[in-house]
Structure 1
Amino acid sequence: MADIHIEEFYRDAAIALAQLYSVFPRRINLFVEDIAGPDEPDEFGLHSKRHMACFGALLWLEEEGLIRYVDTIRQEALDQAVLTRQAFIRLSAPAPTALVDAAGVGRGEDQALPQSVRRDLSTYIHLIRESLRSGHSARISQIVQATFFADA
C-alpha cells in the first residue's frame, strides 16, 4: 500500500483530469474544494495540509505539461484551466489491453457492444472515471500511474 498522501495525489489528479476532460476545450476555474473537499482555514488564514496538497497536485499537473491555466485564485483555484494537447490525446487514447481487462471492460455483455463503443470504453479517461466511481484507492493509483506513463 502506498503512502496516504500519494494515494490522495493520484485521486486529486484523476478528479482534476476528469473534470477538465468533461468540458474540453472550454476553460474552467478548477476549485481545490471541488476536488479535496471543504476546508476551513485556521485563525491565521492558512489552509489545511490536505487542501495544500491538492493545490500542489494541480500545480504539478501544470508543471508536467498536462494542464494550463491563466492564474491562481489565491490558493483556492486555478483560473481558466484547460487540458493541454498532450493530456487530451493521452486521455483519449486506448489503454493497454491488460489494463482494460483488469478493469473489467470488454467482458460479458460488453462484447455485444459495437466496436466503436468498446473502443471508447477502453480509453484512459473512461478507466479513470470508472476507478473514481469505484472509490478504490489502489485502482485509482494504478490507472493514474498508467496514464502518466503512457506513450501518447
Structure 2
Amino acid sequence: MADIHVEEFYKDVAIALVQLYMSFPRRVNLFVEDIAGPDEPDEFGLHSKRHMACFGALLWLSEEGLLRYVDTIRQEALDQAVLTREAFVRLSAPAPQALLRELSAVSNEPELPPSVQKDLSTYIHLLRSALKSGSSSRISLAVQSTFFNDSGLQPVH
C-alpha cells in the first residue's frame, strides 16, 4: 500500500497535467484549490498540509521540466502556466496497447473510426480515464507510466 501523500501527489499531478493539456498552448493560472479542493488558512494565514503538498507538486512539475510558469500567486496558484514541449509531446503520444488494456482505458469497439481509436490510445486519455475511475492505483500507474518509466521524460536543466 502506498503512502497517502504519494497517492495524493499522483492525483495532483494528473489533474494539473490534464488541465494544462486542455488549455494548451494557452497560458492559464493553475489554482491549487481547483486541484486539491478548498482550503481555509488558519488564524496565522498558513495553509493546510494538503494544500501545501499540492502546491509543492506543481512546483516540482516545473522543476522537472513538465511545465513552465511566469510567477506564483502567493501559495494559491501558478501564474500563466503552460506545458513544456516535452510534456505536450509525451501526453499526445500513443501509450502501449498492453498498458491501455491493463488500465481499461480504451474501448475495443471495432466500429470506432481510426481517428477516435488513435485519440483514445494516448497517454492523456490514459490519465483522464484513470482520474474518471477515481482509483488511486489506476491514477498512480497512469502517471508513473506516462512520465516515470525509462521511456518517459528526462528533466530539463
Taking structure 1 as the reference length, the TM-score comes to: 0.95
CA distance in structure 2 between the aligned counterparts of 1:142 and 1:149, rounded to whole angstroms = 10
> Percent of pairs identical after alignment?
76
**Alignment correspondent of 1:147:** 146
Instruction: Name whichever structure is richer in helix by fraction.
Output: 1
Partner of 2:69: 69
Matching residue of 2:32? 32
What SS does the corresponding residue of 1:112 show, helix, strand or coil? Answer: coil
Structure 1 match to 2:56? 56
Output the CA distance in 2 between the equivalents of 1:132 and 1:106.
16
1:149 positional shift:
2.6
Match of 2:84 in 1: 84
Any residues of structure 2 matched to 1:116-135 within 5 Å, and which? 116-135=115-134
Contact 1:39–1:48 (Cα < 8 Å) also in 2: yes
Secondary structure of 1:30's counterpart equals: strand
- State the AA in 1 paired with 2:143: V
Q: Is the 8 A contact 1:69 1:79 kept in 2?
A: yes
Counterpart residue identity of residue 113, structure 2: P
- Whether 1:11 and 2:11 are equivalent positions in the alignment is yes
User: What amino acid does structure 1 have at the position aligned with 2:18?
Assistant: A
CA deviation after TM superposition for structure 1 residue 115, in Å: 1.7
CA distance in 2, matches of 1:77, 1:129: 22
Amino acid at match of 1:118: Q
Q: Which runs of 5+ in 2 are unaligned?
A: 153-157
For residues 113 and 40 of structure 2, the distance between their equivalents in structure 1, rounded to whole angstroms, comes to: 48
2:6 is paired with a residue whose SS is helix
Say which SS state the counterpart of residue 124 (structure 2) adopts.
helix
| Post-superposition offset of 1:102 | 1.4
Instruction: Give the unaligned 5+ runs of structure 1.
Output: none
Residue 103 of structure 1 deviates from its aligned partner by: 2.5
Tell me, in whole angstroms, the C-alpha distance in 2 between the residues paired with 1:70 and 1:45: 24
* CA distance in structure 1 between the partners assigned to 2:81 and 2:91 by the alignment: 16
C-alpha RMSD of the superposition: 1.0
Q: Is the 8 A contact 1:100 1:106 kept in 2?
A: no
User: By how many angstroms is 1:117 displaced?
Assistant: 1.2
Aligned partners of 2:148, 2:35: CA distance in 1, in Å?
23
Q: Distance in 2 between matches of 1:117 and 1:38?
A: 35
Measured against aligned partners, the alpha-carbon deviations of 1:50-73 in whole angstroms (never above 9, x if no partner) come to: 000000000000000000000000
Deviations 1:110-150 (CA, angstroms, capped at 9, x unpaired): x2212221111010000100111110000000000001135
